[in-house]
Copies of this chain bind each other. A is one copy, B any other.
Amino acid sequence: MPLSDDVLVDRLRDAGLRVTKPKLATLAVLEEARARHEHLPVAAVAERVRERIGTLSAQGAYDCLDALVESGLARRIEPAGQPTLYEARVRDNHHHLVCRGCGLVTDVDCTVGDALCLTPSATNGFVLDEAEVTFWGRCPSCAGSTEA
């Protein structure tokens, strides 16, 4: 069952964002997608938001998603070679598994735990804030074919 609007409204306010129909609907769409383990491109988010509130410009979709990412309510995923995807932000620092065949993105937990992955041997003076791990391979249905 989907989260009530009240909860989402509070979440937006707590994040310091204005509560607008587009942002509320965008957040709802991402939450719904999370329940289905989906990762959505901007166009798909915009489309689903339109189903809820009637209209939303492409630019509006970018603005909303940017704001949600900025405030920590959503996470941006940019797998090499395909358009940017978004998912509702969750606390666990899970990683992603991308199919080289069809581009399917799946969530996966890191065996060794976040702490280890976050610690490279030398940071070269960089101040790190995130360790991103992406696994590449072929999904079950693409593993058989020889398609690129």
Contact = CB atoms under 8 A, between A and B. Distances in A.
Contact of A135 (B109, B116, B120, B125): B120
Contact of A117 (B81, B109, B133, B143): B133
Contact of A137 (B112, B128, B137, B139): B128
A54 interface: no
A130 interface: yes
A14 interface: no
Question: For chain A, what secondary structure do more than half of its interface residues adopt (helix, strand, loop), or is it mixed?
Answer: mixed
B111 A97 contact: no
A81 B87 CA distance: 17
Interface in A80-100: 80-81, 84, 95, 97, 99-100
B106 A124 contact: yes
A111 B106 contact: no
Contacts of A143: 125-127
A122 B137 contact: no
Nearest to A78: B80
A58 interface: no
B130 A137 contact: yes
5 smallest CB-CB distances across A and B, nearest first, come from A78-B80, A128-B137, A125-B140, A130-B136, A126-B137
11 contacts: A78-B80, A108-B120, A111-B120, A111-B121, A112-B119, A117-B133, A123-B135, A123-B137, A126-B135, A130-B136, A132-B133
